[in-house]
């Protein structure tokens, strides 16, 4: 192994973009766009990379007093099937804090509100081809609003059956390959890990959306 392929520094993701030479918009869609970036890598190599320019999203691990997690069942056309998912949504409202987006999405997709909110985990959904940054919140102290879920959804979101699972059961389903949504898998595993650490890893819900720090 080459000496320069052994990392001896701090293990932490950092922002250190390559030189952007050109950006061409290939498709400008309703929610996201596809662009081609021409960049010069640190070794001087010039490459083109196709990228989905995505607004980002949030998800919510809603836990009740019995440590059961709320999942909704939703049809997803790209994979041609029904997935059990955490309540989640795009950050497609200009200027809206991700915490506010999460509160709105929990209400719209489940009919619940939460008294206690924390940041659970952050991740890039597909960093090899997309800018999508994802934040998953932990919501506790749940209460169902009068009248249940508001009628705000359409098409695939018009009918969202929900179920409650013990957190341990949700983890088992994720590890057995019976759950596939990345928000669900990441969220339930992170919630279980945080609970095992007595929740000391939780961050304030009002923190700004996670971005890569500078080196």
pLDDT at position 1: 62
pLDDT for res 203: 96
Are the C-beta atoms of residues 175 and 110 closer than 8 Å to each other?
A: no
Prediction pTM value: 0.91
Burial of 91 (0-12, 13-18, 19+ CB in 10 A): buried
What pLDDT is attached to residue 210? 67
32 — alpha (psi -120 to 50), left (phi > 0) or beta?
beta
pLDDT at 152: 66
Q: Give me the pLDDT at residue 27, please.
A: 95
Looking at the structure, do residues 15 and 80 belong to the same domain, yes or no?
Answer: no
One domain for residues 158 and 73: yes
145 shares a domain with 75:
yes
Catalytic residue among 5, 22, 96, 157: 157
Q: How many residues can be counted in the chain?
A: 215
**Beta bridge partners of residue 124, listed in sequence order:** 133
Tokens of 18: 């390559």
In 154-181, which ranges are continuous DSSP H helix?
167-176
pLDDT at 120: 97
Inside any domain, residue 112:
yes
Instruction: Domain of residue 49: give its range.
Output: 10-53
Q: Which pLDDT score is estimated for 5?
A: 83
Q: What is the pLDDT of residue 150?
A: 66
What pLDDT is stored for residue 95 in this prediction?
87
Residue 3 maps to a domain = no
pLDDT at residue number 147: 72
Question: Which parts of the chain have pLDDT scores under 50?
Answer: none
Strand-strand pairing, 133-144 and 57-62: parallel
Dist. CA 85–CA 76, nearest whole Å: 11
Tell me if residue 157 is catalytic. Answer: yes
Query: What are the pLDDT digits (tens) for 161-184?
Result: 999 999 999 999 999 999 999 999
What pLDDT does residue 160 have? 84
């Amino acid at each position: 192994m080459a000496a320069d392929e052994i990392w001896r520094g701090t293990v932490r993701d950092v922002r250190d973009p390559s030189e952007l030479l050109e950006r061409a918009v290939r498709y400008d869609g309703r929610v996201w766009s596809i662009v081609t970036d021409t960049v010069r890598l640190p070794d001087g190599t010039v490459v083109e990379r196709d990228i989905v320019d995505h607004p980002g999203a949030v998800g919510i691990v809603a836990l009740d007093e019995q440590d059961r997690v709320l999942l909704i069942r939703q049809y997803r056309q790209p994979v041609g099937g029904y997935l059990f998912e955490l309540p989640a949504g795009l950050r497609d409202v200009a200027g809206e804090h991700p915490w506010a987006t999460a509160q709105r999405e929990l209400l719209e997709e489940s009919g619940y509100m939460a008294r206690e909110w924390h940041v659970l985990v952050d991740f890039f959904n597909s960093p090899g081809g997309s800018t999508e940054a994802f934040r998953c919140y932990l919501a506790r102290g749940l209460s169902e609003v009068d009248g249940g879920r508001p009628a705000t959804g359409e098409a695939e979101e018009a009918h969202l059956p929900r179920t409650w699972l013990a957190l341990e059961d949700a983890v088992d389903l994720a590890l057995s390959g019976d759950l596939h949504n990345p928000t669900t898998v990441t969220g339930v595993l992170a919630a279980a890990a945080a609970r095992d650490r007595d929740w000391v890893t939780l961050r304030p819900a009002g923190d700004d959306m996670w971005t890569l720090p500078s080196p």
